[in-house]
Amino acid sequence: MSFYETYQTFRQILEQAGKASHGPDQIQRILQQSTLKPWDLYALLSPAAAPFLEQMAQKAHRLTVQHFGRTILLYTPLYLSNYCTNFCRYCGFNAENPIPRKQLSPAEVEKEAQAIAETGLKHILILTGDARQLAGLDYLKSCIAVLRRYFTSIGIEIYALETGEYRELIAAGVDSLTIYQETYDESLYQELHPQGPKKDYCFRLDAPERACRSGIRSVNIAALLGLGDWRTDAFFTGLHADYLQRTFPEVEVGLSLPRMRAHAGAYQPLYPVKDAVLVQIMLALRLYLPRAGIALSTREQAGLRDNLIRLGVTKMSAGSTTRVGGRTQAHDDVGQFEIADERSVAEMQARIQGLGYQPVFKDWQPI
């Protein structure tokens, strides 16, 4: 059993039916429902739902406050290594990009950890490129051993692993997995990932399931918005999250809504996502999955991030850098992509409080 079967079923229907047209009556009816079916999500992502953003926002706000309260969990990414054997056309770490490559030693990880811990953060997300020979499991475990002394929750956003490998990292102290399918469009995926381990669409698609079977506490999935047709990618992100919730009810399933940002390569998104579209996607997914956490990174600008807090966001990164060693070392390299919200953790904390929400620093601890 895999989400791939669900994906194929719905993709076939979409290909055969073409673009279904929806009317305002249908959108209004969906907004009255307490639970939504997959095609209701598709309708909320359609042009017909665009005039209903305010009504969707009101309902999304109510649902989010009801299920998550007025709280925003804060976390920050820590880039351990930018070595990569993949050729993802949209990514700054692409093996072909002539950028300085770097990998933190455990001692350097400790310095970064100290700098981050001073801001009060307790949740950390560690990231690497895809270079197993350099940033393999043993390296990751040595970094995790350092980070456990500073943080109560450790997430990974790294290359897709096998089930047993996830189990090893969970035993080492990892409690959450973030992994993006980038695009659910299988043929576009092949174009965008011409070489490297990431080329295998299904191995990546099934990674969250393998982590769930390994006992992970939470998984966070997404499509990188802008790569493919955003309606289809947002639709399948919702279906994927729903599938994970149903198949692994003990796992907290969350979503991210990353939009493509400027990066070291020349690749430009085929389907740029405007702010209003980003909002429509967030609201549609919140109404479809009222209990799913929604993470918003510093890819987005400060003003927009502030406005999105009330629309369904439950987690935000702060004090971010996408450079390896970006907090403690001289800046002789470039990051994976450009950060748009450069506020410090303290500034984010104050702003979230100012908006009537509680910034939450700790929402898990090893047990």
Partner 1 sequence: MKDALEIGGRCFQSRLLLGSGKLSSDALIPEIAARSGAEIITVALRRIDFKSASANILNHIPKNMQLMPNTSGARNADEAVRIARIARAAGCGNWVKIEVITDNKYLLPDGYETVRAVEILAKEGFVTLPYVSPDLMTAKRLVEAGAAAVMPLGAPIGSNRGLKTKELIRILIDEINLPIIVDAGLGKPSHACEAMEMGAAACLVNTAIAGASDPVAMAAAFSMAVQAGRQAFLAGPGAETSFATASSPLTGFLREGIGH
Q: Which residues bind partner 1 (CB under 8 A)?
A: 65-71, 120, 122, 217, 245-246, 249-253, 291, 353, 356-358, 360-365, 367
Decide if 236 contacts 184 (C-beta within 8 A).
Answer: yes
Tell me how far, at minimum, the Cβ of 1 lies from partner 1, in Å: 18
Alpha helices in 95-159 (DSSP H): 106-117, 137-147
Q: Which is nearer to partner 1, 200 or 363 (CB)?
A: 363
Q: Which is nearer to partner 1, 232 or 314 (CB)?
A: 314
Tell me how far, at minimum, the Cβ of 318 lies from partner 1, in Å: 14
Question: CA 202, CA 299: separation in Å to the nearest integer?
Answer: 27
* Residues with Cβ within 8 Å of residue 154, at least 6 apart in sequence: 124, 126, 144, 147, 148, 173, 174, 175, 176
Residue 45 has phi, psi (to 5 degrees) of -90, -5
In degrees, rounded to 5, the angle at the alpha carbon of residue 205 between the alpha carbons of residues 188 and 290 is 105
Tell me how far, at minimum, the Cβ of 337 lies from partner 1, in Å: 30
Q: Which is nearer to partner 1, 271 or 361 (CB)?
A: 361
Encode 112-176 in three state secondary structure.
HHHHHHCCCCCEEEEEECCCCCCCCHHHHHHHHHHHCCCCCEEEEECCCCCHHHHHHHHHHCCCE
Q: Which is nearer to partner 1, 67 or 274 (CB)?
A: 67
Tell me how far, at minimum, the Cβ of 60 lies from partner 1, in Å: 14
Tell me how far, at minimum, the Cβ of 107 lies from partner 1, in Å: 23
Q: Answer positive or negative: Cα dihedral of 15, 19, 23, 24.
A: positive
Tell me how far, at minimum, the Cβ of 110 lies from partner 1, in Å: 18
Question: CA 42, CA 312: separation in Å to the nearest integer?
Answer: 18
Tell me how far, at minimum, the Cβ of 119 lies from partner 1, in Å: 11
Q: Answer positive or negative: Cα dihedral of 308, 313, 317, 321.
A: negative
Q: Which is nearer to partner 1, 49 or 360 (CB)?
A: 360
Tell me how far, at minimum, the Cβ of 76 lies from partner 1, in Å: 16
Question: CA 362, CA 74: separation in Å to the nearest integer?
Answer: 8
* 212 residue type, one letter: C
Q: Which is nearer to partner 1, 89 or 217 (CB)?
A: 217
Q: Which is nearer to partner 1, 84 or 287 (CB)?
A: 287
Which DSSP helix (H) or strand (E) runs through 65?
helix 53-68
Which candidate, 281, 197, 270, places its Cα nearest to that of 236?
281
Question: CA 318, CA 66: separation in Å to the nearest integer?
Answer: 24
Q: Which is nearer to partner 1, 113 or 251 (CB)?
A: 251
- By the 10 Å C-beta count (0-12 exposed, 13-18 middle, 19+ buried), 200 is classed as middle
Tell me how far, at minimum, the Cβ of 238 lies from partner 1, in Å: 14
Q: Which is nearer to partner 1, 27 or 170 (CB)?
A: 170
